[in-house]
Structure 1
Amino acid sequence: MRPRVALSLVLAPAIALALSACGASEAVDQAAAAQPGAGTTVYPLVLDNCGAEVTIESAPQRVVSLDQNSTEILLSLGLADRIVGTASWTDPILPALADANAEVPRLADNAPTYEVVLGADPDFVTASFGRHFASGGVAERGRFAETGIPSYLSPTDCDNGESVNGGGTRSTPLTIDALYDEIAELGEIFDVSDRADALIADLQARATAATDEMDAAGASVAFWFADTKTPYVGGGRGSAALLASTTGFANVFSDLADDWPATTWENLVARDPDVLVLGDLQRDRFPGDRLDDKIAFLESDPLTRTMSAVQNERYIALHGAELNPSIRFVDGLEKIEAWWRAHRDEQ
């Protein structure tokens, strides 16, 4: 019998009302993106990017972004007119970026083919997850290099020069600095470092404001991203672990190294977390992607409905992009803090 945590989490079924506050992402400040570039980058720019040397001869004019996370960074930097294709979306665009994104071509809701990417005639390709650059993905980075197209992978997916989602494993926990490094490097690549600095400062201020007073006091939590058959949960070194540690929660799957390892329902039920963070994904790729489907499954399955978090409806809903290392990570912090503030005093 594991001890109960100091923070009181015996909540009423009225928690369902809190979910309405978790369904809409916060806006990203666009003030920085409205300013002209500083023109400070010296080309050719040579970067060591996750074990690959990347040379940028001049600021890219035709970029394909293979993930929603990288797309929303580019849009936040005021680069909509340079994006000739996007792909791999889990959620609707941030409302504050909707107008900028309206004219950006979507090559695929999920991963596009190499031929489709080449059809957009890019001079630069960026991705948040290295699976796109792995064998069986869109194309290996060397194949893009053969056609003279530089490629970039988010530092959030890199560990010791290898892509975590491209077959590697994290040796150290992800930090928020990796996200800020991505923003700074994309700002340098596109010669808009002033905009990148402003975006980083805004995200840092919001993260500080969201966590200044919050302390979940070690209350246990599990992050369920997707799939009702074989649940994918937040492991101990990725973005879910970072959300937990930053807000004071204890991740019940902290012993697993992968970002989103597959587990069994028996394993999750045995760990019996105080709170469940549920991914509300709009992509409809796996059974139970959407929030309503997740809750319906949890409350109807004979095994999962025995969990205390399910019996007391202790759910926090986050969009997929908020569970991944992206600018929406801060939205995730804000939503977790809002849930905690609403329920910390309940007995």
Structure 2
Amino acid sequence: MPSARRLSAALLLAALTLSACGGPQNSGQDQDPSESQDAGFPVTVEDASGEVTLESAPERIVSLTPSVTEMLFAIDAGDQVTAVDEHSDHPEEAPTTDLSGFEPSVEAIVEYEPDLVVLARNAAETADQLKEVDVPVLILPSAADLDQAYDQMRTLGEATGNADRAGEVADRVESDVDAIVEETTAEIGESDLTYYHELDSGMYSVTSETFIGQVYDRFGLQNIADSTEDTAGGYPQLSAEYVVDQNPDLVFLAYPGEGAVEDLGERPAFDSIDAVSDGDVVHLDPDIASRWGPRVVDLAESVSAAVTDAAQEG
């Protein structure tokens, strides 16, 4: 019996020793998360200005583009985001600041001590000034199509040390959008529906060359703005007479206002438009409709529902 007790004590001592030394069961538990992120660094990514090299995973990111802010939180880089522009209102946990994304202030940005700033293409001058004070900068322009949106998610993943998660998110968003399009097409067949997308009550619209136009194109919709004489770089201002004459099957409104749909129907002669008389005027969430982040899936669902309803009425 004494020998049995000595054996049990020896085994217990051995187990405690292995545990204290970090045996297989505790492997990696005390590792600093930042060390894990830095494992793939330095890393070089490509933005609108060329190649950008980051020596280590950024811990204090300033995002001055709402779409980028949504992407960063979606790829689990939210804890690394220190500040965002005043229009980055999603998700709710995004920090609130008064930084401007349209007219960035280098002085205001630097106060946040960033180790990465993400800007839009039109802020190239600000980017140069930040580089002069050794602040790494990524310039990510508005995505021209869905593929560019997916690529930007992956680029942000590589730049922040979240490449695997970013790849998963990009793949999921792409597969979700593809599935929505395929299901809609299978249900209604080939579509010959026309549409008018209105950016504001001033009747500015979009052509099929824009990001939002590319989303509609996936559903086979025909854009009435494509036939206007001056497409204005993808964002033409249409006349009331032109829209009435084109008589779109669907109208999408992408600006705030609880009475936007009713106001549209009250415009002179607009009650003769099929979309208006048939109740096929859709009020989109203006943020979702203007951003190329992960919520493009929500946009695709809204378009799908509108297309399906209009096709079934026809």
Range into which the TM-score falls when normalised by the shorter chain: 0.7 to 0.9
Listed one character per residue, the Cα deviations across residues 268-292 of structure 1 (whole Å, up to 9, x for unaligned) are: 333221101111xxxxxxxxx3142
Residue 279 of structure 2 corresponds to residue 313 of structure 1: yes
Distance (whole Å) between structure 1 residues aligned to residue 85 and residue 237 of structure 2: 24
Q: Would you tell me which structure has more helix in proportion to its own residues?
A: 2
The answer to whether the 8 Å contact 1:203/1:330 transfers is yes
- Matching residue's letter, 2:206: G
TM-score between both structures, scaled by the size of structure 2: 0.77
- Matching residue's letter, 2:152: E
2:181 is matched with 211
Distance (whole Å) between structure 1 residues aligned to residue 240 and residue 309 of structure 2: 29
Deviation of 1:62 after TM superposition, in Å, equals 1.0
TM-score between both structures, scaled by the size of structure 1: 0.70
Larger Rg: 2
Residue 114 of structure 2 corresponds to residue 122 of structure 1: yes
The answer to whether the 8 Å contact 1:223/1:277 transfers is yes
Distance (whole Å) between structure 2 residues aligned to residue 177 and residue 201 of structure 1: 11
Choose from 288, 292, 299 the match for 1:332: 299
Deviation of 1:149 after TM superposition, in Å, equals 1.6
The answer to whether the 8 Å contact 1:107/1:117 transfers is no
Unaligned runs of 5+ in 1: 1-35, 158-173, 280-288
The answer to whether the 8 Å contact 1:155/1:178 transfers is no
RMSD: 2.6
The answer to whether the 8 Å contact 2:46/2:155 transfers is no
The answer to whether the 8 Å contact 1:77/1:187 transfers is yes
The DSSP-based 3-state class of the residue aligned with 1:71 is helix
- Matching residue's letter, 1:195: R
The DSSP-based 3-state class of the residue aligned with 1:84 is strand
1:51 is matched with 49
Distance (whole Å) between structure 1 residues aligned to residue 205 and residue 220 of structure 2: 18
The DSSP-based 3-state class of the residue aligned with 1:54 is strand
Rate the CA distance shift 1:305–1:125 in 2: closer, same or farther, 3 A: farther
Deviation of 1:258 after TM superposition, in Å, equals 2.5
Describe how 1:142-291 pairs up with structure 2 within 5 A.
142-154=128-140, 156-157=142-143, 174-215=144-185, 217-226=191-200, 228=201, 230-255=202-227, 256=231, 258-279=233-254, 289-291=255-257
Rate the CA distance shift 1:108–1:293 in 2: closer, same or farther, 3 A: farther
Distance (whole Å) between structure 2 residues aligned to residue 155 and residue 119 of structure 1: 24
- Matching residue's letter, 1:118: V
Distance (whole Å) between structure 1 residues aligned to residue 276 and residue 206 of structure 2: 18
Unaligned runs of 5+ in 2: 1-32
Distance (whole Å) between structure 2 residues aligned to residue 219 and residue 68 of structure 1: 31
- Matching residue's letter, 1:153: I
Rate the CA distance shift 1:116–1:190 in 2: closer, same or farther, 3 A: same
Choose from 81, 96, 106 the match for 1:105: 96
Deviation of 1:341 after TM superposition, in Å, equals 3.1
